[in-house]
Structure 1
Amino acid sequence: MIRRRTSHIVLAAGGTGGHMFPALAVGQELLSRGHRVTLITDRRGLKYRKLFDGIKILEVDSTTFTGKGIIGKILALPKILSSIRDAKSLLKMVGAGAVIGFGGYPSFPTIRAAASLGIPTCLHEQNAVLGRVNRLMAKSVDAVALSFENTDKADWQSYNYVAVTGNPVRKEVEEIGDLYFPTLGDDKIFRILVIGGSQGAKIFSEVVPQAISTLPRASQRRLQVTQQCREEDIESVRAIYADTKIAVELTTFIDDLPNCLRWSHLVIGRAGASTIAELTTAGRPAILVPYPHATDNHQTANARELLSVGGAWLYQNNEFNAKTLAKVLQRMARHPNEVWQAAEESRKIGKPYAAKDLADIVERLALVKGDKSVITVNEISNENNEDVESKGLVAKR
């Protein structure tokens, strides 16, 4: 058995699920390897604290220069400098061996503080467009990890070290990819999962039940639907489904998303980074409707690879309507092999080992104490000495 040298790894993540869930997956992987792990987040991130079992959580105030005018930048500067000083004190207190930032405003002061202390740093980008905060820091950190090889606004040649790891997902989702796709034949139940982010999406509450209500009774009888709705929409959605007589479960929050993914044949949802990562890891096809106000239209970019291999169908917000969706669902019901094939293509591009690969990188950074000259492709490997470069993970300047 190879005995690992352990360190204290700090995760820096903003207070949204898109940043927090990848941080959680990597944190759990690092804990399993015997490392101590601390999360530094903002007030919004504290609402996820129950998920971070075994991980110490510290808070830092956060703001950013991005999206502000000259006056706003001047006014934000004192708070940013104060946050960096606070983060520096926290890093000294825990004895951080390395810091990995997952984007969002808390990443900025924590990564800057680590750099000033000579602590090794790594950034992870979840989306297919490099986020604004990560853009500010990418050229100055020790390593950059991307979820997509084709990441817009990423300047590979300017980074000290870059790897394509994928976007970490929870272990329960990883396990789904090893299972058979649920049987879907002409006379079998067709299970649809509708998700819209942590609070649901109004467009799905309007379009999906209307589309299903127009289907022939024979098609309706085959359907089982689990749909996430906003609290203010749930009763109106329930009223539309009441006339269909199909099996429907409505909820404002899906507590066990991995289990719902496990039995679903089709997912309807947005194209957030975590959604794409979970779909491709689990091997599930999807109808995707990117959030139209996403910064730099990053949700459309997130779906690009999945669309190119035939693992999903994409509609912009203004294209997604009940008539169109009803036609698509009827076609899928008549041609179940099309759904199965899309599931296969989705699974082929999944990166189920993203958490492990990212943990390998930050673990090595911590162990070499920031000496980038000794970080090589062969050194960032697992205990079985599997060459990371053979998996297409690493490119080095």
Structure 2
Amino acid sequence: MNTVSRHFVLAAGGTGGHLTPAFALAQELVQRGHHVALITDERGAAIPGKPDFLPAHVLPAGRFGKNPLRWPTAISAVLKGRAMARRLYESFQPTAVVGFGGYPALPALLAARSAGVPSVIHEQNAVLGRVNRLLAGRVDAIATAYEEVDRLKPAFLAKTHVVGNPVRAEVLALRNEPFPAFTADGLLRVLVTGGSQGARVLSEIVPDGLAMLQPALRSRLQVTQQCRPEDLEAVRARYANHDIPAELGSYFQDMHVRLGDAHLFIGRAGASTIAELTAVGRPAILVPLPIATDDHQAANTREMVKAGGARSIRQERFTAKELAKQIQAMAQHPETLATAAHAAWNCGRPDAAEKLADLVESFGGEPIQDVIRVGADSKAELGNAAQGAAA
């Protein structure tokens, strides 16, 4: 058991997809006796779920788009954030810096490189994200959630480690609970969510799709659906017209409990969603977000679909008729749904936080020295960064 207390910095963009695994790693490292700090943006510092023990440092971070005319402003912001991160490292003296993607991770990891601090990036999706693509050649290790990751260069495979995507402790606690009993005449509990902001297409399609199920299945439905606040009344009216019992809300505090009770999930294919579905073992009908960068949500579905734990429907093909067809195929017989649940469960990587912590700890040799090495010229480095991010 490790008895040496070290310092680690986690850097992540201010979205749940980046921060959820960062929080899970923070919990694991603190349980091992280490000290952890977070670098993020203003959204990340205020996001629900941040552990109370985790101090957040807000750094400026420019976004590099495809328009080179905007790069100077972005470079200036990143340089400012990089200098702030360097000052933090001088006082905090981290053993390693771990980036989880998003532009706020860029200055933190560039500062680690110039300061001679070991660095690791974690990719939650099945496509290497822009910032992680930019930094992949500059870090000491790459951790992935999937064995197959698009846009990860073969040259980097030697330092790539498949660890999975850490999930919230309350979700992981459900992994060893049995799949809810589903019988030929029992309730079919369906959970529908579209990510943190909801998804209008689900509100428009799902009620009508459920209404098209064969009467023997439709009469047993019990639906929980997350919607955008402005869509709630319209969705409620749709379910009422179809005489389908449904509990609706824009946010559910106990989402992990509802996931544990569900027989079938319908929703988007974000990295955290897939990680939680496979951690708990819940069959799913996934509708990847069509505007996701590099179509990464479609890539996220591959492993689960191949295993038989999910079905994926492209949004342009996501009609009420197609949804009813897929539900009917999955839930017409209890054993079919249970088999899909087990297939989803087999895709889970419940020890993701522990494996990621082991990887991060492997860089904890001698304490970081007081003398900080100066890396490549900042402007040149960031000029290359801008080109890489825009690629």
Query: When the two structures are superposed, what TM-score results if normalisation uses the length of structure 2?
Result: 0.90
Contact 1:202 1:229 in 2 (8 A): yes
Distance 1:370 1:133, change over 3 A: farther
Matches within 5 A, 1:32-51: 32-48=31-47, 51=50
Contact 1:13 1:107 in 2 (8 A): yes
Distance 1:142 1:370, change over 3 A: farther
User: Counterpart in 1 of 2:387?
Assistant: none
Query: When the two structures are superposed, what TM-score results if normalisation uses the length of structure 1?
Result: 0.89
Distance 1:89 1:49, change over 3 A: farther
**Structure 1 counterpart of 2:102, one-letter code:** G
Residue 280 of structure 2 corresponds to residue 282 of structure 1: yes
Please say which of residues 47-56 and 109-118 is displaced more in the overlay. 47-56
User: Counterpart in 1 of 2:22?
Assistant: 23
User: Counterpart in 2 of 1:203?
Assistant: 201
Aligned-residue offset at 1:216: 4.9
Aligned-residue offset at 1:156: 4.0
Aligned-residue offset at 1:80: 1.5
Contact 2:94 2:368 in 1 (8 A): no
1:370 and 1:300 map into 2 onto residues whose CA distance is 41
SS in 1 for 2:303: helix
User: Counterpart in 2 of 1:130?
Assistant: 128
Contact 1:30 1:37 in 2 (8 A): yes
Contact 1:142 1:370 in 2 (8 A): no
User: Counterpart in 2 of 1:355?
Assistant: 353
**Structure 1 counterpart of 2:62, one-letter code:** T
Matches within 5 A, 1:58-207: 58-65=57-64, 67-158=65-156, 161-207=159-205
Residue 375 of structure 2 corresponds to residue 367 of structure 1: no
Aligned-residue offset at 1:97: 1.9
**Structure 1 counterpart of 2:315, one-letter code:** N
**Structure 1 counterpart of 2:189, one-letter code:** R
Aligned-residue offset at 1:240: 1.0
**Structure 1 counterpart of 2:163, one-letter code:** T
Aligned-residue offset at 1:68: 2.9
1:295 and 1:50 map into 2 onto residues whose CA distance is 25
**Structure 1 counterpart of 2:38, one-letter code:** L
Matched positions, count: 369
2:214 and 2:153 map into 1 onto residues whose CA distance is 51
1:299 and 1:331 map into 2 onto residues whose CA distance is 23
**Structure 2 counterpart of 1:253, one-letter code:** Y
2:316 and 2:97 map into 1 onto residues whose CA distance is 41
Aligned-residue offset at 1:81: 1.1
Aligned-residue offset at 1:222: 0.8
2:257 and 2:50 map into 1 onto residues whose CA distance is 17
1:332 and 1:132 map into 2 onto residues whose CA distance is 36
SS in 2 for 1:176: coil
Q: Decide which of 241, 258, 268 is 1:260's aligned counterpart.
A: 258
Aligned-residue offset at 1:50: 5.1
Distance 1:343 1:74, change over 3 A: same
Matches within 5 A, 1:233-244: 233-244=231-242
Contact 1:61 1:106 in 2 (8 A): yes
| Two-structure CA RMSD over aligned residues (Å) | 1.7
Contact 2:39 2:57 in 1 (8 A): yes
Distance 1:370 1:336, change over 3 A: farther
Task: Deviation per CA, 1:316-353: give whole Å up to 9, x if none.
Answer: 00111111212333344422211111111111121010
User: Counterpart in 1 of 2:374?
Assistant: none
Distance 1:368 1:290, change over 3 A: farther
1:90 and 1:228 map into 2 onto residues whose CA distance is 40
Aligned-residue offset at 1:238: 0.4
Q: Unmatched 5+ residue regions in structure 2? A: 370-391
Aligned-residue offset at 1:217: 4.8
Q: Unmatched 5+ residue regions in structure 1? A: 372-397
Contact 1:143 1:159 in 2 (8 A): no
1:3 and 1:82 map into 2 onto residues whose CA distance is 36
Distance 1:134 1:333, change over 3 A: closer
Contact 2:268 2:287 in 1 (8 A): yes
Contact 1:140 1:159 in 2 (8 A): no
1:34 and 1:97 map into 2 onto residues whose CA distance is 14
Distance 1:288 1:91, change over 3 A: same
SS in 1 for 2:277: helix
Contact 2:40 2:57 in 1 (8 A): yes
Aligned-residue offset at 1:94: 2.2
Residue 289 of structure 2 corresponds to residue 291 of structure 1: yes
1:366 and 1:57 map into 2 onto residues whose CA distance is 22
Aligned-residue offset at 1:127: 0.5
User: Counterpart in 2 of 1:315?
Assistant: 313
Aligned-residue offset at 1:3: 4.6
**Structure 2 counterpart of 1:14, one-letter code:** G
Aligned-residue offset at 1:117: 1.1
Task: Deviation per CA, 1:116-164: give whole Å up to 9, x if none.
Answer: 1111111000010000100111111111101111101112423662200
Contact 2:62 2:76 in 1 (8 A): no
SS in 2 for 1:366: coil
Contact 1:225 1:247 in 2 (8 A): yes
Residue 241 of structure 2 corresponds to residue 247 of structure 1: no
Please say which of residues 98-107 and 174-183 is displaced more in the overlay. 174-183
Aligned-residue offset at 1:271: 0.8
Contact 1:141 1:160 in 2 (8 A): no
Contact 2:95 2:368 in 1 (8 A): no
Aligned-residue offset at 1:69: 2.3
